[in-house]
Structure 1
Amino acid sequence: MEEEKPTGVVSRFVGGLNISMRRFLFRVISSGPIPEHIAFIMDGNRRFAKKWKLEEGAGHKAGFLALMSLLKYCYEMGVKYVTVYAFSLDNFKRRPDEVQYVMDLMHEKIQGFLKELDMVNRYGIRVLFIGDLNRLSDPVRIAAEKAMEATAMNKKTYLLVCVAYTSSHEIPRSIYEACEEKSRRKVGEVEEEQEEVIKVVDLEKKMYMGVAPDPDILVRSSGETRLSNFLLWQTSNSLLYSPKALWPEMGLRHVVWAILKYQKNYFYLEKKKKEA
């Protein structure tokens, strides 16, 4: 039997030490309130590639690896819902070749995600694609449907991927659908008498994001403070955190710091939610 190389032993020892330290850190953090839902605006993939003079698409590949690590950290700390802003409806206004490039890249990343099903199932992750999926190219839409189907039985944690999404599309759509439902609701063959007023709860039931509670924390990488038409309805009482790190540079310390900031402001945030 071939003797194991010293470098392999050291590598496994360091890896095990890192996992043990991470678990200890998470136990300490979990002594305070843990957010149920964290949303991410993944900003800075292209700037990362430019910064390090990488080939086109390398920044997005690095960003995908960062996403997989951040998901693992979030779920290990007890965060149940993670939402990421993957593709805005506004991006369809770009040149056709740019849109096609993004569609191809998205298809590649979904396929890559499907290859990580061991990790996905280990954390019990259910994947949901949120937005106007009919606007996606057929290969991307089919891949998204396969990912949702493959994880449909998982109920422990959730990954919501916002594609072909903007709040300025989501909100009017929910108003329209709530009005439509009220106008056609019947009891048997007799029209049910309904209030004409559309309530907030009626709108929220029809929103794409109605499948999850509002985010406790909204993180946008690269130091930008714009919300970019993302979850405008849902984040009115969320903690906003904008680390300077580009998305592929995001790591454990950024997630930990976001949660510590949330814990520091927890009672204030809860008070604002109750007043809303």
Structure 2
Amino acid sequence: MIERLKNWLVGYQKEETQKPGDEERMEVLKKGPMPRHVAMIMDGNGRWAQKRGLPRIAGHRAGMKTVRHITRVADDLGIEALTLYSFSTENWKRPKDEVNYLMGLPEEFLRTDLDELVRRNIRVGMVGREDELPDHTKRAIEGFKEGTKDNTGMILSFALNYGARSELIHATQRIIEDVQSGKMDKEGVSEALFDQYLYTANLPDPDLMIRTSGEVRISNFMLWQLAYSELWFTDELWPDFSRELFYQAIDDFQRRSRRYGAV
């Protein structure tokens, strides 16, 4: 198994590039209503590796390459914000070796991708409980934030140690504290104010949520923010999610009628 993994790591060089017709396809999509914020549940890394007789970490490494090329596509389309569900509060239950590998990915991504993110004017952020992460992971996240703080383009956010129920409880606790301390009156609590107590306070609500791997649920992801989001599901596992599938999701979004509860 170890030898197979080594050979695979040497040979796997997935870097999706534009194909003939991609530029024209992108220009057509740009003429339609573009989602300001796309949120993605990146599911299926483990199953992708299992199908190939590889350990789960091979799927996570392949998935990181998909993160890279989907970030480029979203940026090229002019999307304002891209949020990737990277590690949930429930994922701590996974095997220790897998968790440790996932906690090391931000450091690797920092080494390999920071320069390109700066060139693309992309600003990196995080949504989730940062205080509970390992110190080395927190340092990598701070490195991203510091290195891209002056960028004014797309906001790339990683939902890391994130759980929507926990987020809602945390926001409610902070509001209670501010009411009790006299910073605000309880009558002043509104949906707009509640938004400001969430991890996503600096982001618009997602217009489009994409989930890979054939699962059709939102798995404790942005329960508040997805209230009126368009949902799009695909059977493809995350490492196989392509530029073409992203185009299909945007095209489908543009064909929908968004009424927000109105007739």
TM-score interval, smaller chain = 0.7 to 0.9
Q: Choose 172-181 or 73-82, whichever is displaced more.
A: 172-181
Selected match of 1:263 from 236, 242, 254:
254
**Per-residue deviation, 1:19:** 6.0
Q: Choose 23-32 or 105-114, whichever is displaced more.
A: 105-114
Query: Paired residue for 2:158?
Result: 161
Selected match of 1:151 from 144, 148, 152:
148
Task: Letter of the 1:163 partner, please give it.
Answer: L
C-alpha distance in structure 2 between counterparts of 1:93 and 1:57, whole Å: 16
Query: Paired residue for 2:88?
Result: 88
Q: Secondary structure, in 3 states, of the residue corresponding to 1:210?
A: coil
Over residues 178-237 of structure 1, what are the superposed CA-to-partner deviations in whole Å (9 max), with x where a residue is unaligned? 222233245xxxxx8x35452222211100011100111111101111111001111111
C-alpha distance in structure 1 between counterparts of 2:103 and 2:41, whole Å: 16
Selected match of 1:177 from 167, 174, 177:
174
Selected match of 1:198 from 189, 203, 209:
189
Gaps of 5+ in 1: 1-14, 187-191
The structure whose Rg is larger is 1
C-alpha distance in structure 2 between counterparts of 1:57 and 1:124, whole Å: 30
Selected match of 2:234 from 224, 233, 243:
243
**Per-residue deviation, 1:250:** 0.2
**Per-residue deviation, 1:43:** 0.3
* TM score, norm. by length of structure 1: 0.83
C-alpha distance in structure 1 between counterparts of 2:77 and 2:49, whole Å: 30
Task: Letter of the 1:232 partner, please give it.
Answer: L
- For the 8 Å contact 1:103–1:140, the answer to whether it is kept is no
Q: Does 1:216 align with 2:207?
A: yes
Q: Does 1:232 align with 2:229?
A: no
Query: Paired residue for 1:7?
Result: none
- For the 8 Å contact 1:103–1:137, the answer to whether it is kept is no
Query: Paired residue for 2:103?
Result: 106
Write 1 or 2 for the structure with the bigger share of helix. Answer: 1
Task: Letter of the 1:140 partner, please give it.
Answer: T
Q: Choose 113-122 or 70-79, whichever is displaced more.
A: 113-122
**Per-residue deviation, 1:139:** 1.1
Per the alignment, do residues 151 and 47 of structure 1 end up closer, same or farther by CA in structure 2, a change over 3 Å counting?
same
Gaps of 5+ in 2: 1-15
* TM score, norm. by length of structure 2: 0.87
C-alpha distance in structure 2 between counterparts of 1:114 and 1:80, whole Å: 24
Q: Choose 112-121 or 59-68, whichever is displaced more.
A: 112-121
C-alpha distance in structure 2 between counterparts of 1:216 and 1:177, whole Å: 27
Q: Secondary structure, in 3 states, of the residue corresponding to 1:54?
A: coil
C-alpha distance in structure 2 between counterparts of 1:108 and 1:263, whole Å: 34
The sequence identity of aligned pairs, in percent, is 30
- How many residue pairs get aligned? The number is 247
C-alpha distance in structure 2 between counterparts of 1:40 and 1:231, whole Å: 11
What RMSD over aligned residues (CA atoms) do the two structures have, in Å? 2.0
Query: Paired residue for 1:9?
Result: none
C-alpha distance in structure 1 between counterparts of 2:198 and 2:86, whole Å: 18
Selected match of 1:254 from 237, 245, 253:
245
